[in-house]
């Protein structure tokens, strides 16, 4: 049995201090850029122990197949590898449910696919289409169902490439089940990894991103420049990167059993503080944009203190037993320093109080405090099956792409046709642009990995030597699976080439794999481009969600004592998440060449207005004074009405109200709300063609034209 592989887990992104996991500001910039285009680069997710554990399981089975001269046993090694990738982490019962479900479904699929292939190409193609379609519907189960569904599809496309009579297919499925059980035993019983380790790394990464943002702000102020001089795009990239990192960490923490242990409490305290420090940086950034060049000294001193605090929290968060006393001592230094700016003084006091409160939650952790992870943990989170049309749509597209790849690969008589079919499975994403990026990553990784494998085979052509280098290749593959898909594929390619060469010696395996991957990826791109998803409609939904979430935050932040601090912090989180989702959708549509069809110029203006509005609301929240006037509340209500009744923008007096925002004597909140109204009017006018569809109008032109049209009608 020739070895093969699968895919990556879902997604599952300077100054005076190091700001990235590798100490490179260039890597931080690259990570921010890739994250904006739905490409993951998260060095903090490097799992060395997970890699060593998986390598041990795989190499054990490969060595047994080689020593016993029983190549069919390689199917067990494949199953073990896939089962490791299906591991969602978190509570033991959740892991057992997901991994066990994959093991059982993979066993059944092996029997069906292998037996169908024995009946001929038409039956095999039909089976591939049906199995991949059914497996792709697992997206309806949520994030925990995406990866097992992709892996089950991969099992189908590999098993169908080895036709067997029913009894032999049952034997093959039994071997698959044995490999999966071996991986589950190793994961859940023999070689357990403390679940806090990935969260600890993720919390540290959040503080590194905060340091990156603070350092950029600090350098700009030192140069006596306004903060916006670093660029609106960089400002949005910083906020998007930090918000994504915080939400990823919250998601990881939500997977842990609720044992209320000291270490989890320490990590939770550090993460909550990071969210508050992020809000403080947003307020400082927005406030400094309005400050004169001669008024930035207080902001520089405050940023210096924040950078020191962030550095200490980053250092302590990396420890299993953080020392809260050192943080409290640093927070107290300069806490009562004089500041001529009342807002900055309030931000400083709030940061100090939040840091001391978080430090008090950091109690020393002893061995007795570490939870017994072998003990019973709470039950798995219930999986609610929601078969939305988008899920069925993506499943059908994937099944068509995989079926086409299977038939084409068979007609071309490719040496390892299932590699092409497998590539079609893993590159298919819900969005066309995401499919393009994933295909590019897979092709680059396959070419680089194939070249490395070809060179290695020249030096390590002895079977025993191949067995030795399989171990580090397998360890690196699993360790990098959540860091970068390109790196993952670059190590995955030589891993399975070495396995194939060990158990089935041949020539040209490396280049055959690279070629097959390119063929499968191109087929996936073709199907995705011809039958693209309706991201334009998703953009409209995401934009409305972002506007609504930000307006909700403004109402809470300016409500004075009517809203608790936790409610305001949660509203800020939701606003950031919604704005980030809309920005990513905008980038995807731009990559698909829909800039004008989807009114992306107008969308970007709206998103910029939302960032400014959130900054102004955060400043007001830190000032602690309810300053939302009657006119501003009316303007918020008008914006809500405009969202839900777009046609009203031709008759409703919102176009008159927004004109008041051009008055520079208006408050900052009024100006931001007016800018949002103007950009929304422009977006609505372009989307629903209330104005001339051939003209690209600015927001002010749109508002002016709408006023004239309404006045003429009256």
Is the pLDDT confidence value at 13 over 50?
no
Phi then psi for residue 412, to 5 deg, are -80, -10
- Helix axes 463-479 and 48-67, enclosed angle (nearest 10): 150
Is the pLDDT confidence value at 373 over 50?
no
Is the pLDDT confidence value at 465 over 60?
yes
Question: Which pLDDT tens digit goes with each residue over 676-706?
Answer: 877 777 777 777 665 444 444 454 455 455 4
Is the pLDDT confidence value at 413 over 70?
yes
Buried b (16+ CB within 10 A) or exposed e, 614-625: bbbbbbbbbbee
Q: What's residue 131's pLDDT? A: 93
Q: Which residues fall within 8 angstroms of residue 634, CB to CB, at 6 or more apart? A: 657
Q: Which residues fall within 8 angstroms of residue 464, CB to CB, at 6 or more apart? A: none
C-alpha 584/C-alpha 598 separation (Å) is 14
Is the pLDDT confidence value at 107 over 90?
yes
C-alpha 637/C-alpha 611 separation (Å) is 19
Q: What's residue 37's pLDDT? A: 57
Which has more pLDDT, 253 or 112?
112
pLDDT-derived band of residue 36, with 50, 70 and 90 as boundaries?
Answer: low
pLDDT-derived band of residue 661, with 50, 70 and 90 as boundaries?
Answer: very low
Is the pLDDT confidence value at 533 over 70?
no
Q: Which residues fall within 8 angstroms of residue 644, CB to CB, at 6 or more apart? A: none
Mean pLDDT of the chain: 76
Q: What's residue 166's pLDDT? A: 87
- Percent of the chain past pLDDT 90, that is, above it, reads 11
Which has more pLDDT, 159 or 596?
159
C-alpha 681/C-alpha 697 separation (Å) is 10
Mean pLDDT of 432-452: 83
Which has more pLDDT, 671 or 594?
671
CB 449 within 8 A of CB 493: yes
pLDDT-derived band of residue 234, with 50, 70 and 90 as boundaries?
Answer: low
Nearest CA among 449, 588, 441, 433 for reference residue 521: 441
Q: What's residue 179's pLDDT? A: 93
Q: What's residue 335's pLDDT? A: 53
Is the pLDDT confidence value at 183 over 90?
yes
C-alpha 310/C-alpha 315 separation (Å) is 9
C-alpha 59/C-alpha 79 separation (Å) is 13
Cα–Cα separations (whole angstroms), residue 565 to 265, 385, 553, 560, 618? 20, 35, 12, 10, 12
Continuous H helices in 193-231: 196-222
Q: What's residue 23's pLDDT? A: 45
Q: Dihedral of the CA atoms 631, 635, 638, 642 (nearest 10)?
A: 160
Lowest-pLDDT range, 134-143, 338-347, 483-492, 597-606? 338-347
Lowest-pLDDT range, 406-420, 659-673, 700-714? 700-714
C-alpha 95/C-alpha 713 separation (Å) is 64
Is the pLDDT confidence value at 484 over 70?
yes
C-alpha 266/C-alpha 365 separation (Å) is 9
Mean pLDDT of 354-371: 60
Lowest-pLDDT range, 37-41, 152-156, 493-497? 37-41
Which has more pLDDT, 533 or 343?
343
Nearest CA among 476, 483, 444 for reference residue 22: 483
Mean pLDDT of 100-115: 93
Mean pLDDT of 641-661: 53
Question: Which pLDDT tens digit goes with each residue over 501-513?
Answer: 777 666 556 677 7
Q: What's residue 701's pLDDT? A: 54
Question: Residue 129 CA to chain centroid, in angstroms?
Answer: 29
Is the pLDDT confidence value at 80 over 90?
yes
Q: What's residue 156's pLDDT? A: 92
Q: What's residue 233's pLDDT? A: 62
Mean pLDDT of 194-213: 84
Q: Which residues fall within 8 angstroms of residue 343, CB to CB, at 6 or more apart? A: 283, 287, 619, 622, 623
Q: What's residue 334's pLDDT? A: 54
Question: Which pLDDT tens digit goes with each residue over 386-400?
Answer: 667 778 888 898 999
C-alpha 319/C-alpha 203 separation (Å) is 11
Question: Which pLDDT tens digit goes with each residue over 250-281?
Answer: 888 877 765 556 777 788 888 888 888 888 88
Q: What's residue 332's pLDDT? A: 63
CB 327 within 8 A of CB 316: yes
pLDDT-derived band of residue 627, with 50, 70 and 90 as boundaries?
Answer: low
Mean pLDDT of 28-33: 66
């Amino acid at each position: 049995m020739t070895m093969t592989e699968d895919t990556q887990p879902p997604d599952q992104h300077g100054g005076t201090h190091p700001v990235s996991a590798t100490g490179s500001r260039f890597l931080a910039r690259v990570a921010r850029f890739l994250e904006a285009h739905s490409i993951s680069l998260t060095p903090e997710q490097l799992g060395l122990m997970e890699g060593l554990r998986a390598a041990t399981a795989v190499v054990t089975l490969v060595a047994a197949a080689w020593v016993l001269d029983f190549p069919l046993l390689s199917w067990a090694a494949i199953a073990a590898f896939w089962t490791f990738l299906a591991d969602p982490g978190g509570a033991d019962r959740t892991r057992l449910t997901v991994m066990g479900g994959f093991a059982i479904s993979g066993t059944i699929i092996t029997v069906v696919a292998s037996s169908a292939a024995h009946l001929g190409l038409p039956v095999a193609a039909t089976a591939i289409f049906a199995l991949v379609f059914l497996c792709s519907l697992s997206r309806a189960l949520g994030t925990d169902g995406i990866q097992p569904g992709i892996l089950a599809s991969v099992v189908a496309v590999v098993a169908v490439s080895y036709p067997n009579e029913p009894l032999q297919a049952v034997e093959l499925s039994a071997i698959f089940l044995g490999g999966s059980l071996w991986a589950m035993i190793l994961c859940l019983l023999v070689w357990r990894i403390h679940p806090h380790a990935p969260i600890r790394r993720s919390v540290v990464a959040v503080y590194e991103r905060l340091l990156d943002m603070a350092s950029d702000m600090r350098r700009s102020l030192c140069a006596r420049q306004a903060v916006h001089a670093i660029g609106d795009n960089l400002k949005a990239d910083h906020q998007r990167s930090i918000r994504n990192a915080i939400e990823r960490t919250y998601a990881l923490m939500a997977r842990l059993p609720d044992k209320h242990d000291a270490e989890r409490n320490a990590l939770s305290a550090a993460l909550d503080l990071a969210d508050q420090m992020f809000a403080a940086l947003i307020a400082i950034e927005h406030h400094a944009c309005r400050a004169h060049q001669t008024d930035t000294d207080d902001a520089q001193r405050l940023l210096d203190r924040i950078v020191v605090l962030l550095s200490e929290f980053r250092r302590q968060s990396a420890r299993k037993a953080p020392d809260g006393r050192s943080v409290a001592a640093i927070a107290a230094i300069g806490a009562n320093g004089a500041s001529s700016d009342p807002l900055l003084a309030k931000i400083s006091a709030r940061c100090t109080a939040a840091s001391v409160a978080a430090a008090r939650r950091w109690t020393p952790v002893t061995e007795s405090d570490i939870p017994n992870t072998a003990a019973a943990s709470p039950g798995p989170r219930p999986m609610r099956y929601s078969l939305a049309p988008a899920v069925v749509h993506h499943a059908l597209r994937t099944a068509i792409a995989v079926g086409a790849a299977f038939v084409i690969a068979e007609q071309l008589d490719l040496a390892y046709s299932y590699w092409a079919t497998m590539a079609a499975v893993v590159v298919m994403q819900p969005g066309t642009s995401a499919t393009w990026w994933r295909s590019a990553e897979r092709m680059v990784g396959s070419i680089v990995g194939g070249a490395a494998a070809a060179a290695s085979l020249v030096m390590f052509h002895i079977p025993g030597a191949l067995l030795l280098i399989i171990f580090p290749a397998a360890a690196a593959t699993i360790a990098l699976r959540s860091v970068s898909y390109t790196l993952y594929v670059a190590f995955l390619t030589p891993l399975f080439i070495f396995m194939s060469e060990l158990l089935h010696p041949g020539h040209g395996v490396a280049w055959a794999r690279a070629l097959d991957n390119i063929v499968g990826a191109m087929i996936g791109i073709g199907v995705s481009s011809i039958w693209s998803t309706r991201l334009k409609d998703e953009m409209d939904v995401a934009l409305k969600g972002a506007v609504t979430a930000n307006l909700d935050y403004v109402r809470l932040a300016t409500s004075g004592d009517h809203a608790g601090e936790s409610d305001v912090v949660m509203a800020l989180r939701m606003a950031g998440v919604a704005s980030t989702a809309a920005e990513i959708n905008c980038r995807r549509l731009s990559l698909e060449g829909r800039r004008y069809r989807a009114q992306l110029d107008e969308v970007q203006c709206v998103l910029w207005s939302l960032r400014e509005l959130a900054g102004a609301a955060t400043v007001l929240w830190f000032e602690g004074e309810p300053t939302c006037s009657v006119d501003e509340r009316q303007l918020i209500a008008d914006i809500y009405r405009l969202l839900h009744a777009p046609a009203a923008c031709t008759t409703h007096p919102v176009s008159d109200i927004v004109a008041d925002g051009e008055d520079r004597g208006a408050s900052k909140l009024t100006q931001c709300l007016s800018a949002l109204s103007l950009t929304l009017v422009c977006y609505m006018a372009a989307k629903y063609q209330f104005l001339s569809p051939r003209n690209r109008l600015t927001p002010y032109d749109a508002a002016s034209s709408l006023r004239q049209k309404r006045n003429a009608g009256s």
